[in-house]
Structure 1
């Protein structure tokens, strides 16, 4: 173990943890970074950078590739929630604003653990009385103190990378409910199917769809014409697909030609 890793000097014991947090923040900000750049920026060896990246990958913050690391999603890796919070913000706000028009007082609404539906959660205060069910910790904290909103927190095993609760207990909590509307998003959408990289999240989203009278999928244009490892559901299983105004006409036509009901949220 090197001196920089051992932290033997007073006040130095937490230096590797602090550096890894700073490395994570740097990668989340830039999206994708070579290891050599990280070594130069943080004044450590490339070997130390790779040890940091190994730990950050274990935590689900980044994924390593030959010569560096990325916070961006792939067909088998879903981005950390901190990275997803930063991306497509204008599109998510437009999708949330459209989704808000579908919510009426007295409804029971379910939100998945996507950052897109978190944007909707921010718009729900003032629409009550509402019942809101969600497994997303950030959304739970957001609506927990709002007057007029009855909160049903869908518990389970907490996953730090997603800041949400998953697993069998979460699915059982979902299956005990019947809500009026589900608002969900996912990481990849082809003209025929919705996809996600992680099996546990797919199982939770499917349970949510079964527990809702109507299911609405909110997706920004960057997620279209993409696939991931696991099929979530055919798009026709959703009552409505809402896309943002930057979606090309060819993308809209492909969705509609395969039978999906599509609405466009203006930006």
Structure 2
């Protein structure tokens, strides 16, 4: 039998691989991206033009470089390109915490967005969020009621950001809140943006159960601002690539759940 050649990655998959490589290395040449993807030079140039035009990467002579960390880590569109399979795995595990009739609070993380896509399978739920993308996903779902939090609209985050009392967040008490964040170590969560920390801290207190969802790429690092101790959450969901020793320490502070896979 004639062996079939392996399928080439789709345009979206190819662009995610470009982003991952550039974030890891800081720079990637056109030549290495062509070799990695197995496509033509012109195809890679079109990919780079598209990514640069969307503000995700920066074109430079001979290749592409990463934008300053704070710029692309804040970008909703950039975050949607990263760790897609891991976020889906986190969402599948987190879905087990939701039952029909519950009220659910979702932050403006793309991990929470992955969970939002699964919520219609639960049945009747009420979702409170500040993330416009969650509204886009759920607005036509008859059994899902959506309440949007207020605040100033951030084009970068594609969400509404404001102090808990001004946004309306302080008036809600939900069954379960779901969040992600920039980085964590084995005892504490961090975030790179101060303007979001107050809102995210209020989200912890709004839930009878508060769940932090983190993929392995965010573990073992720190961001500029301390967000919360892991012990302030009721549950922590992580992917299997988090080192076992770190998981053991985390489990001393919070109820730990590990996804089946990425």
Sort the Cα spacing of 1:244 and 1:171 in 2 relative to 1 into closer, same or farther, 3 A.
farther
1:261 aligns with 2:261: no
1:186 aligns with 2:187: no
Displacement of 1:31: 3.3
Structure 1: runs of 5 or more not aligned: 1-24, 43-52
Asked if the contact 2:91–2:114 (Cα under 8 Å) also holds between the matched residues in 1, the reply is yes
Asked if the contact 1:77–1:197 (Cα under 8 Å) also holds between the matched residues in 2, the reply is no
Structure 2: distance between partners of 1:216 and 1:123: 16
1:215 aligns with 2:200: no
Q: Secondary structure at the match of 1:125?
A: helix
Structure 2: distance between partners of 1:99 and 1:189: 18
Displacement of 1:251: 2.3
Partner of residue 89, structure 1: 84
Structure 2: distance between partners of 1:230 and 1:130: 33
Matches within 5 A, 1:159-174: 159-168=154-163, 172-174=167-169
Normalising by structure 1, we get a TM-score of: 0.74
Match of 1:149 among 144, 154, 161: 144
Asked if the contact 1:197–1:230 (Cα under 8 Å) also holds between the matched residues in 2, the reply is yes
Partner of residue 5, structure 1: none
Normalising by structure 2, we get a TM-score of: 0.75
Q: Which has the larger radius of gyration?
A: 1
Structure 2: runs of 5 or more not aligned: 1-15, 31-40, 43-51
Displacement of 1:209: 1.1
Q: Secondary structure at the match of 2:73?
A: coil
Structure 2: distance between partners of 1:173 and 1:89: 31
Structure 2: distance between partners of 1:254 and 1:169: 31
Partner of residue 13, structure 2: none
Q: Secondary structure at the match of 1:124?
A: helix
Match of 2:22 among 28, 31, 34: 31
Partner of residue 128, structure 1: 123
Displacement of 1:145: 1.1
Q: Secondary structure at the match of 2:251?
A: helix
Sort the Cα spacing of 1:35 and 1:251 in 2 relative to 1 into closer, same or farther, 3 A.
closer
RMSD: 3.1
Structure 1: distance between partners of 2:77 and 2:20: 10
Matched length: 224
Asked if the contact 1:28–1:71 (Cα under 8 Å) also holds between the matched residues in 2, the reply is no
Structure 1: distance between partners of 2:58 and 2:254: 33
Displacement of 1:232: 0.7
Partner of residue 201, structure 1: 196
Partner of residue 104, structure 1: 99
